[in-house]
Structure 1
Amino acid sequence: MTPAQNAPETAETTDGSSVEGVGQQAAGFARARKASLIGAIFMMATSAIGPGFITQTATFTATMGAAFAFGILASILIDFIVQLNIWRIVTVTGKRAANLANEAIPGSGYVLAVLVIFGGLVFNIGNTAGAGLGLNAMLGLDPKIGGAISALIAVAIFLAKRASIAVDRVMIGLGIVMILLTVYVAIVSGPPVGEALRQTVWPDEINFATITTIVGGTVGGYITYAGAHRLLDSGTAGVDNIKQVSKAALNGILVTGVMRYILFLAILGVVASGVVIDTSGSGANPAAQAFQAAAGEFGLRAFGLVLWAAGITSVIGAAYTSISFITVFNKKITERGRNLATVVFILVSLGIYLIVGTAPAALLVFAGGFNGLILPIGLTIFMYVGWFRGDLMNGYRYPRWLLVLGTLVTGLTWYMGVVSVVPIFAFLGVS
């Protein structure tokens, strides 16, 4: 969607007497750009705080306790560097990630697109399962029925006449609901904040498989590009918009970082009180147990709403971003065509979930880890663009400090991926 499509209709300005109309049009564009930036922030944030992250946080907090705080901090710092680099490069070049990769290293864009689409499909199966678990906790529905209902709601949003605007509004509204409910449970559970802060910087143990999984669940795979591609589709691209884009990226990271830590504290309060959270078994729903232990029946229902909101927004974000990569194979695909392809993507994810029916919690943890393995591949390509392909940057001088940090994080994600491959695939063995 272009800025002109976002802006409200105004009278044609054919002479000097229509200055007021020009002002209204400019104001309309400014509002549209602001709305698109907020939409991009919440698309990134809700994708990064999806059912996978919620389930992973509950699972790892139950097994590691306050020591998991370091994993949260690591994920936030990595997220910060990754998103600042990705958003900036995509915006400055005005090109989608796969198209840019192809121009930088011929053929690499196709590889990146296949990996992101496949990783997005894995994630979306888990997101559908997460939405189903949410309705199960909130209304007592069978998770598969809940997953089907949620997927069909997402389909309806993409089939809407003004799908782009609908996506932004749904992301923002449900994102705010998630934050408010989680803050309430964090207060009620009474977590040991002092101990959590200590272990945030000086943990009793460091588990790289855990960090890789949580990083993958918050910034791996499609999530890396969710906000950046949303900005391109809204017309917010080019060197002129770099300040607004950087500010939006920082705000998005702030929203996700605060939300992650609050969720961790909510569950830590339950674990620290002596409540044993079951993380095994196909029917295990660790986060639901934590919310119910903290706030009783209301906590369980509130969690159901949080998880459902996280699930359906992540279904939308994963499908939207994954399908945005198909343009590398066919540049003539229209916005309407992408919306229809997105609908198919959602329905395929739902079909696989209904047929396979694997343990939702285990699938959500695995999805994060798998996408964590994809992350360093895309980062490597983008760092190459930043260092060596200034000809693609439209005259923009890329900050050297950001490139150095991005390169260090790229090396770290490669290391974590290599040492975590076996433990991550072992998550599928949870029964």
Structure 2
Amino acid sequence: MKPARNWSVLLGAAFLMATSAVGPGFLTQTTVFTQTLGASFGFVILTSIVLDIGVQLNVWRVIAVSEKRAQDIANMVLPGLGLFIAVLIVLGGFAFNIGNVGGAGLGFNVLFGISPEAGAVIAAAISIGIFLVREAKKMMDRFAQLMGLLMILLILYVAITSAPPVGEAVLKTVLPDKIDFIAIITLVGGTVGGYITFAGGHRLLDAGVKGEASLPEVTTSAVSGITIASLIRILLFLAALGVVSKGLVLDAGNPPASVFQLAAGDIGYTLFGIVMVSAAITSVIGSAYTSVSFIRSYHSSIERNENWFIIGFIAISTVIFVTIGRPVHLLILAGALNGLILPITLGTILLAAYKKTIIGDYRHPLWLTVFGILVVLLMAWMGGYTLIKQLPALFG
């Protein structure tokens, strides 16, 4: 039986990964795909869950066995590669954190009628407050768990009130009317792309859960993280399906808010505000913590003052949102780059899994390698396609 301390750490890492994935984009993405694919979106979710588990098990296991962070592993695979990945992660983290802060501002606007900018400042203050306490990482774990459970309960309520056709959803999950590969790849990128891939793995390393003997715990935590994020995705899918199956039209300007309001009236709209704030603030925290974990190796002052760098990361993201809003070109570029980060980082991890200088005598499971290669190829194709499509918007 695992000690209580380890269970707390394993759950903390799982919820950190899950709530990092469940941000404003996650809520919108799920709602929009449900609107376009209907019950067949269940098949997309199921497929993405299987791929997500394959990604996380590859990454978390190699981090644990090597007892090194991803950027240090990458530098051992190819000198300089770790710095390149760190730059990609930090730039992507900054860009998406601007969106996360903005999402929190929108949530506070729904709840209290204040401006999104004022709401963003409140969200930043809450996030920064966590990293000012002595046991900041334990506080981060507890906050992620609390917000994750709150989101599950609130979305469950909305899913029940929307009365979705559950039988049809189950059937179409196995026998879909159509298969949307772009939707599958988008969901994989949104759940385990960019910094999210490493949030839980780096957290376990910081907490001392490492070495080959810890692999059962690492596996439990990784699968738990995907399960939590997927449960939130499934409940939101069912809530949206209940609304669209009745022929109700979602507001194109804010599809997830529409689902909550159409399913549960004014109470639902208020619940949306709470869910949006919870999703956005936990994503702000996860993005800042994980992005800074990628630059800790490069200077001892960052290692010593990690929390202050995290606070600075959050503060800069908030200032950018409050002063210039969401810079469209930056977000477009970050979205395209995010699609390329996963194949680069996962490909690096797969190479590392077969280098004795990194993993010693550990033997990486063949099925995980095959899964990993499949995801690398899919995400590289889609990331490149997306980047090419976005170039005219960036330079036109």
1:398 maps to 364
How far is 1:364 from its partner? 8.3
Check whether the contact 2:88–2:337 (CA below 8 A) recurs between aligned residues.
Answer: no
Q: 1:385 aligns with which of 342, 352, 357?
A: 352
- Counterpart in 2 of 1:327? 296
1:320 partner letter: Y
The answer (yes or no) to whether the contact 2:101–2:321 under 8 Å persists in 1 is: yes
Quickly say closer, same or farther: Cα 1:223–1:129, change in 2 above 3 A. same
Instruction: Please give the TM-score of this superposition, normalised by the length of structure 2.
Output: 0.93
Judge conservation of contact 2:11–2:224 (CA < 8 Å) in 1. no
Q: Are the equivalent residues in 2 in contact too, given 1:277–1:286 (CA < 8 A)?
A: yes
Residue 311 of structure 1 is matched in structure 2 by 280
* Matching residue within 110, 120, 127 for 2:100: 127
- Tell me the residue number matched to 1:11: none
**Which AA in structure 1 matches 2:35?**
A
Displacement of 1:175 in angstroms is 0.7
Query: Matched residues in 1 for 2:100 and 2:173: separation?
Result: 28
> 2:13 maps to which residue?
40
Q: Separation in 1 of the partners of 2:180 and 2:26?
A: 16
- Aligned-pair RMSD on alpha carbons? 2.5
Q: In the alignment, which residue of structure 2 is the partner of 1:375?
A: 342
2:84 partner amino acid: V
Name stretches of at least 5 consecutive residues in structure 1 with no aligned partner: 1-26
Aligned 8 A contact 2:99 2:326 in 1 = no
Residue deviations 1:308-337, cap 9 Å, x none? Answer: 1111011000000001000232255335x1
Q: Which has the larger radius of gyration?
A: 1
What is the 5 A alignment of 1:113-262? 113-262=86-235
The question of whether the paired residues in 2 share the 8 Å contact of 1:212 and 1:417 is answered with no
User: More displaced, 325-334 or 131-140?
Assistant: 325-334
The two structures have a TM-score, normalised by structure 1, of 0.85
SS at match of 2:205: helix
Change (3 A) 1:207 1:74: same
**Amino acid paired to 1:315:** V
2:251 aligns to what SS in structure 1?
coil
CA distance in 2, matches of 1:359, 1:294: 33
Deviation at 1:396, TM superposition (A): 1.5
Kept in 2: contact 1:208–1:420 (CA 8 A) = no
Matched, 1:351 2:319: yes
In 2, Cα distance between equivalents of 1:364 and 1:181: 29
Q: Give 1:174 shift.
A: 0.8
8 A Cα contact 1:135 1:143, kept in partner: yes
Q: Distance in 2 between matches of 1:272 and 1:33?
A: 44
Q: CA deviation at 1:147?
A: 1.2
State how far apart, in whole Å, the 1-side matches of 2:335 and 2:30 are.
11
Equivalent position of 2:47 in the other structure: 74
C-alpha separation between the residues in 2 aligned to 1:363 and 1:56?
A: 19
Against the structure 1 CA distance between its residues 363 and 75, is the aligned structure 2 distance closer, same or farther, given a 3 Å change threshold? farther
SS of residue matched to 1:159: coil
Q: Deviations over 1:89-125 (max 9, x none)?
A: 0011100000111011111101110111111111111
Q: CA deviation at 1:417?
A: 1.9
Of 288-297 and 53-62, more deviation after overlay is shown by 53-62
Q: Find the counterpart in structure 1 of residue 375 from structure 2.
A: 409
